[in-house]
């Protein structure tokens, strides 16, 4: 039991969240004794293959090399997301698409890009005018060269990877290099101290595992935060209706098929389908709301998509993951912090879940309480911060749906209805008719989704602010930025290798 300094941490759960937290804590606090316990009887969720560029920093902090990671985890480079059919529908000549690239617009925050775009070239997609990433994605170019250093970028990037292989690599590294103790056992009871803290977890074969601090990474089971402490979820079902997903792994028809360098998110009548290209297979999944679509309908939509995108006929049957969209009313209670799916899950759009795991783990490392006496203060600040972050993630995800013009189902009509929008989005959208989303609309320097992300989605979805013709000087500044983007695209597209050829090269040289 913790008396003075905090010495021991027990992580419950060996999915991506558990191993990321254990790895970061062990790398940044080598004096701590860290144990991770995971059950053989409860499989990891096994999805979560799209990330945010913050993952580059996280891997470096843990001490992993990028080439090992690429060699071991079926990695591809992700330069952003492409949204097909979210405005009007994906099929036919009227089909729409837009990009949310990871590169900030050139001149973002300095030049009045949005008004200059509206005044000079409004028919052109905004993202295409302000970032070379769109052309790199369309041309299937990698975001870096062979000689670019590890984790370095020519164009900003994150990763796609195989979640199972990623967990194995993190585990090996944490156990062999960082000294994390690994226990494979099922936790069947939580033992409380007199003050209500958790004293120990009782396992089937390893007795009682005690610690000063417990991290609940037990996935959707939420064994500590939910089952033991009874902290309820804030349900977001009325805002973001999706509550089920059908993932499937599909081989390429031929091994040299182009390798997408963005996540492709295609809307269907009652949900959307993700498509993530890894070097030797695609991870595809249908996300839907059970209130609007049956599982048979979702499966049929997935099959239509797989046929249309050339998946071979021989493929495994998809499984179904059902969940309750929402996040915990508190994440840190007494001496227990929930990170990962135990803390909540909304939906896979924009890969916010692992980004929140990284932020939570970094925050824990930075503010690790020295003793039990300071823990409640740290916990309260952590809870405030992450309640804010979850609420902003929800605003941003809803933005993808709220502006749709689709009228092909109750699902999309309900998303368009402002009564289903978060209050903050209802307030901000009219303001954004008059000016672009800006830094001061958001409360944190390290927002999960900054103002630039809002601009990409708003304008990609056809939202147009009122034109207020900029002065000649402002136009000139913005035009210089547009010219710089065009110059970068002219240099990068022929100068960067094809995405698949770079991955093939990195795999060969790392072997």
Q: How many CA atoms lie within 13 A of 140 on its CB side?
A: 12
Q: How far is the CB of 355 from ligand FAD (least distance, A)?
A: 6
Which residues bind to ligand FAD, rule: CB under 6 A? 12-18, 37-39, 42, 44-45, 47-51, 163, 186-187, 217-219, 221, 223, 245, 247, 285, 321, 323, 340-342, 348, 351, 353-354, 357
* Cα–Cα nearest to 48, from 171, 145, 164, 139: 164
> What's the min distance (Å) between Cβ of 291 and ligand FAD?
17
Strands (E), 204-319: 208-210, 213-216, 233-235, 244-251, 263-268, 271-277, 281-288
**Binding site members for FAD:** 14-17, 187, 341, 350
Angle at 51 between CA 45 and CA 55, to 5 degrees: 110
Residue 331 or 432 having the CB closest to ligand FAD = 331
Q: Based on CB atoms, which residue is closest to ligand FAD, 39 or 135? A: 39
Annotated binding site for 7-chloro-L-tryptophan: 78
Pairing relation of β-strands 263-268 and 80-84? Answer: parallel
Residue nearer to ligand FAD on the CB measure, 126 or 327: 327
Q: Cα 197–202–206 angle (5° rounding)?
A: 135
CA proximity to 398, closest of 384, 408, 412, 385 = 412
From the list 284, 285, 289, the residue with the least C-alpha distance to 270 is: 289
> Closest separation between CB of residue 152 and ligand FAD, Å?
23
Smaller CB separation from ligand FAD, 154 or 394 = 394
Residue 1 CB, shortest distance to ligand FAD, in Å, is 21
Burial (CB < 10 A; 0-12, 13-18, 19+), residue 278, is buried
Residue 269 CB, nearest approach to ligand FAD (Å): 19
Closest CB 218 distance from ligand FAD, rounded Å: 4
Judged by beta carbon, residue 284 or residue 485, the one nearer ligand FAD is 284
Could you tell me the smallest distance in angstroms from the CB atom of residue 209 to ligand FAD? Answer: 10
What would the DSSP string read from start to end of 50-62?
B--THHHHHHHHH
Question: Which position's Cβ is nearest ligand FAD?
Answer: 15
Q: How far is the CB of 320 from ligand FAD (least distance, A)?
A: 10
**Exactly one of 78, 144, 270, 398 is catalytic; which is it?**
78
Backbone dihedral region for residue 439 (phi beyond 0: left; psi -120 to 50: alpha; all else: beta): alpha
Residue 145 CA: distances (Å) to CA of 150, 154, 258, 438, 496: 10, 8, 18, 33, 6
Residue placing its CB nearer to ligand FAD in the complex, 135 or 218: 218
Among 317, 322, 387, which residue's Cα sits nearest to residue 359? 387
474 has catalytic annotation? no
Q: Which residues have C-beta within 8 Å of that of residue 23, sequence separation ≥ 6?
A: 62, 170, 173, 174, 178, 180
CA-CA-CA-CA torsion for 436, 441, 445, 446, nearest 10 degrees? -80
Annotated binding site: 14-17, 78, 187, 341, 350
Strand order in the sheet with 263-268: 97-101, 80-84, 263-268, 271-277, 281-288, 244-251, 321-322
Q: Give CA–CA dist 357/367, Å, rounded.
A: 15
Judged by beta carbon, residue 51 or residue 76, the one nearer ligand FAD is 51
Q: Classify each residue of 425-461 as buried b or exposed e, where b means 16 or more C-beta atoms within 10 Å of its C-beta.
A: beebbeebeeebbeeebbeeeebbbbbbbbbbbbbbb
Cβ neighbours for 459, distance < 8 A, ≥ 6 positions apart? 98, 114, 117, 125, 126, 127
Unique residue bearing structure tokens 């899950």: 345
Cβ nearer to ligand FAD, comparing 120 with 210: 210
Annotated catalytic residues are 78
């Amino acid at each position: 039991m913790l008396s003075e300094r905090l010495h021991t941490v027990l992580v419950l759960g060996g999915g991506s969240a558990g191993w990321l937290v254990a790895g970061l804590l062990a790398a940044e606090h080598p004096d701590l004794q860290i144990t991770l316990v995971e059950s053989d009887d409860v499989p990891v969720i096994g999805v979560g293959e799209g990330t945010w560029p913050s993952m580059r920093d996280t891997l470096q902090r843990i001490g992993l090399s990028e080439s090992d990671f690429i060699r071991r985890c079926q990695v591809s480079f992700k330069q952003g997301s492409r949204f097909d059919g979210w405005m009007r529908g994906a099929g036919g000549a009227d089909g729409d698409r837009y990009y949310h690239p990871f590169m900030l617009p050139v001149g973002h925050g300095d030049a009045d890009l949005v008004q200059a775009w509206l005044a000079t070239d409004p028919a052109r997609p905004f993202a295409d005018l302000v970032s070379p990433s769109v052309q790199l994605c369309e041309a299937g170019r990698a975001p870096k060269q062979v000689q670019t250093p590890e984790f370095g970028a020519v164009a900003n990037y994150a990763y796609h990877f195989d979640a199972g292989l990623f967990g194995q690599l993190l585990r090996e590294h944490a156990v062999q290099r960082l000294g994390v103790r690994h226990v494979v056992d099922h936790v069947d009871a939580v033992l409380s101290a007199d003050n209500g803290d958790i004293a120990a977890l009782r396992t089937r074969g390893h007795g009682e595992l005690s610690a000063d601090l417990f991290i609940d990474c037990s996935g959707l089971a939420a064994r500590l935060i939910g089952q033991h402490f009874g902290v309820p979820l804030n349900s977001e079902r009325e805002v973001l209706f999706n509550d089920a997903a059908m993932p499937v792994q599909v081989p390429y028809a031929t091994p040299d098929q182009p390798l997408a360098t963005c996540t492709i998110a295609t809307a269907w009548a009652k949900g959307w389908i993700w498509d993530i290209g890894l070097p030797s297979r695609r991870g595809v999944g249908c996300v839907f709301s059970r209130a609007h679509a049956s599982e048979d309908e979702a499966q049929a939509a997935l099959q239509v998509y797989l046929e249309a995108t050339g998946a071979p006929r021989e493929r495994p049957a998809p499984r179904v993951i059902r969940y309750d969209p929402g996040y915990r009313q508190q994440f840190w209670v007494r001496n227990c912090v929930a990170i990962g799916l135990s803390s909540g899950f909304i939906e896979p759009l924009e890969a916010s879940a692992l980004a929140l795991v990284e932020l939570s783990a970094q925050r824990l490392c930075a503010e690790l309480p020295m003793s039990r006496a300071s823990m409640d203060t740290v916990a309260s600040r952590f809870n405030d911060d992450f309640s804010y972050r979850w609420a902003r993630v929800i605003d941003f995800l809803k933005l993808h749906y709220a502006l749709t013009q689709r009228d092909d189902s109750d699902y999309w009509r309900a998303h368009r209805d402002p009564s289903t929008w978060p209050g903050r989005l209802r307030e901000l959208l009219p303001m954004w008719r008059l000016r672009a989303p800006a830094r001061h609309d958001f409360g944190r320097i390290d927002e999960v989704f900054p103002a630039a992300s809002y601009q990409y989605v708003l304008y990609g979805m056809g939202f147009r602010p009122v034109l207020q013709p900029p002065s000649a000087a402002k136009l000139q500044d913005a035009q210089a930025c547009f010219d710089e983007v065009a110059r970068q695209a002219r240099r990068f597209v022929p100068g960067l290798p094809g995405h698949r050829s770079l991955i093939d090269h990195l795999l060969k040289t790392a072997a």
